[in-house]
Structure 1
């Protein structure tokens, strides 16, 4: 019995001294750490759900997969080092660099997931500018990817000061070679900061055959869906040299019509004009704070022309046409109520009586 205890003690001591060389033990420890992380994550998730603060949920969701990956990959890297070191009987210095790259990658991965979660959460809220949210998210991603790339380059032993010096010399060459790409990039930045339009806006350009709804604003191009449902891909640099109209931001829509009545109804023009103006002033869908004009405007070729100029409260295209139809029907009713009618193009031919010569009459 004493011999058995002695052997167990000896085996335990040897195993304790050499545990870091045991791949099996490291794997078991990784599995145990992963189980602990899952239990801790589950508990934290329950606590986060009880709070009204949403950002803790977003952070936990960003940490879930990257931390699990780190728990398995870091010990896996250590185990790989032990196996290769025993195999080649040499110290592998590149494993420390591999571990550093793993940490950098996990950190950048967590940040990218957190940015995506925040972007999605903010876009789900009401009254959020989709274009601004996407722009901030893209800038944040670009910033952290750049920081991660520079850190990786430094981990490989590259001199950042030398790289920046080379960038100053080579930047001019790269600028000439990629001037179109850079102009599109800065054109996209101009759109994000000046905000002449955003995703969902209806835009058009009198300079180019561009008209439709903005679907996406990228770093290089903007996607516009035309009214016949064709996608239009416009490089961002184009918007720096053309005039862009944004009808989506209009405050009112205009009704500007010329209505002709018959010349035979001229005596009723003043009364008709007065009643049309009164109708518009009392119409619930007409903005009386804007310009409102109803006047006898001109003598037309075949009608007395009345100008109707006013603005609707709605800017919705479909609703605007419904309001305009209602206004025109009411104008037609007013004209008919006074036994007048809307004129249509007519021509009057006057025939002069033919006069016979005096000589022929005498005969």
Structure 2
């Protein structure tokens, strides 16, 4: 009832303004004598537009003032986001347009053709305002969902971008229906012939949407994850995943974009679980010259028994070897008879004990020293363990300290580290 009274008063004001306009234009300027009806129509249209702009300004300011008071009085976050994205501004546009549409007939009562065209213009404006309102609501929902749960970011962005595309296409079809005076079903039926073309054009969009839903449901990859894509030789942090592409910030601070579908169709290494467990693997080998390998004689064993980390190991193993050789009645004068300790074996045990006692090496994960396949350059001895931190700088420091120590210690066991020297250098 109150709204009807306001609209009625606004209508009376517009009617009085129209009469004043007719008196001024038709009599003071005597435009009828000139026969310029076109100028009269243009003048009315411009005058009508000016009135709508004034109403738009008044309603927009009023709605923003009221909504700001309401938003400031609440403790919710979502209403602040709706206000910042100007969702309520889109609602304010409906009031002046509705008033203008109601009074088109009374303002242009002598020009039926103008009324028809203006009604089409107003219908198109209503469609555009609805589209603007939907896009702003979708943006707000995406911000709200993103701030609450990063795992849902992918799905929300995919859904929001897809919803925007569908809304834009639907509004374009409605505008075409308005301009051609056809119903929407007829327009949609006529599009059936170009369905294959539409699917081809939006192939990446469809694949990106499906990929986003799969990644969000399985939580495979999300924004902020540290990933590696061997196919493209990319390693970095995911900063955004949208409907079409994913943006990855490389460690050299460059940005690489890859199709979203590639994140599920190709091999992707995700280091995020490793970072959550706060561990990181060391898997690196030292290449030794096989010619430096030899059996340890009694003199060497006495020397190595003073090394704290392998002292107990040497004593235990030597007793086992001596007992075995005695039971088997083996002539130990010849070196290849029986069992003997070697310098490479003692080094391997030293490295294993060194890592197991290292305060920065995880004791709950796999820890081993193993021989890799022999190469023409020597025997690789691989260290396989995990640091108790995943931070890159600390990890590199731990790894460097470990290899600094072991490479230096290798000389004490008379081992020679292979260095491949290229010809011409």
Contact 2:145 2:156 in 1 (8 A): yes
Which residue of the partner structure matches residue 143 of structure 2?
120
CA 1:91 to 1:317, structure 2 compared with 1: closer, same or farther past 3 Å? same
Give the Cα–Cα distance (whole angstroms) in 1 for the partners of residues 377 and 255 of structure 2: 46
1:219-278: CA deviation from partner (whole Å, max 9, x where unpaired): 4455556666665555567778x6333243463434231353843685444443333222
1:5-64: CA deviation from partner (whole Å, max 9, x where unpaired): xxxxxxxxxx9995452347966776665554344223212222xx2x222223344433
**Structure 1 residue 116: deviation in Å?**
1.5
CA 1:210 to 1:73, structure 2 compared with 1: closer, same or farther past 3 Å? farther
Which residue of the partner structure matches residue 59 of structure 1?
82
Contact 2:348 2:369 in 1 (8 A): yes
Give the Cα–Cα distance (whole angstroms) in 2 for the partners of residues 229 and 38 of structure 1: 41
CA 1:160 to 1:83, structure 2 compared with 1: closer, same or farther past 3 Å? closer
SS of the residue aligned with 1:22? helix
Counterpart of 2:72 (choices 42, 46, 60) is: 46
Check if 1:253 corresponds to 2:281.
Answer: yes
Check if 1:278 corresponds to 2:346.
Answer: no
Contact 2:159 2:209 in 1 (8 A): no
- RMSD over equivalenced CA pairs, Å: 4.2
CA 1:44 to 1:121, structure 2 compared with 1: closer, same or farther past 3 Å? same
SS of the residue aligned with 1:93? helix
CA 1:246 to 1:298, structure 2 compared with 1: closer, same or farther past 3 Å? closer
Structure 2 unmatched ranges of 5 or more: 1-8, 21-50, 275-279, 297-341, 420-425
Contact 1:226 1:232 in 2 (8 A): yes
Which residue of the partner structure matches residue 101 of structure 1?
124
Which residue of the partner structure matches residue 209 of structure 2?
189
Contact 1:30 1:75 in 2 (8 A): no
**Structure 1 residue 151: deviation in Å?**
4.2
Which residue of the partner structure matches residue 187 of structure 2?
163
Structure 1 unmatched ranges of 5 or more: 1-14, 347-363
SS of the residue aligned with 2:187? helix
SS of the residue aligned with 2:267? coil
Please give the TM-score of this superposition, normalised by the length of structure 2.
0.59
Give the Cα–Cα distance (whole angstroms) in 2 for the partners of residues 335 and 121 of structure 1: 58
Give the Cα–Cα distance (whole angstroms) in 1 for the partners of residues 135 and 397 of structure 2: 47
Give the Cα–Cα distance (whole angstroms) in 1 for the partners of residues 379 and 287 of structure 2: 8
Contact 1:256 1:310 in 2 (8 A): no
Give the Cα–Cα distance (whole angstroms) in 1 for the partners of residues 244 and 55 of structure 2: 48
Contact 2:371 2:379 in 1 (8 A): yes
Give the Cα–Cα distance (whole angstroms) in 2 for the partners of residues 54 and 197 of structure 1: 27
Give the Cα–Cα distance (whole angstroms) in 2 for the partners of residues 121 and 84 of structure 1: 46
Equivalent residues in 2 for 1:1-16 (5 A)?
Answer: none
1:110-155: CA deviation from partner (whole Å, max 9, x where unpaired): 2211221232344345744543332232133234334444444454
**Structure 1 residue 192: deviation in Å?**
1.4
1:53-99: CA deviation from partner (whole Å, max 9, x where unpaired): 2222233444332234334444455666655445x366713434433
Check if 1:340 corresponds to 2:366.
Answer: no
Counting matched residue pairs gives 319
Contact 1:199 1:217 in 2 (8 A): yes
Which residue of the partner structure matches residue 320 of structure 1?
395
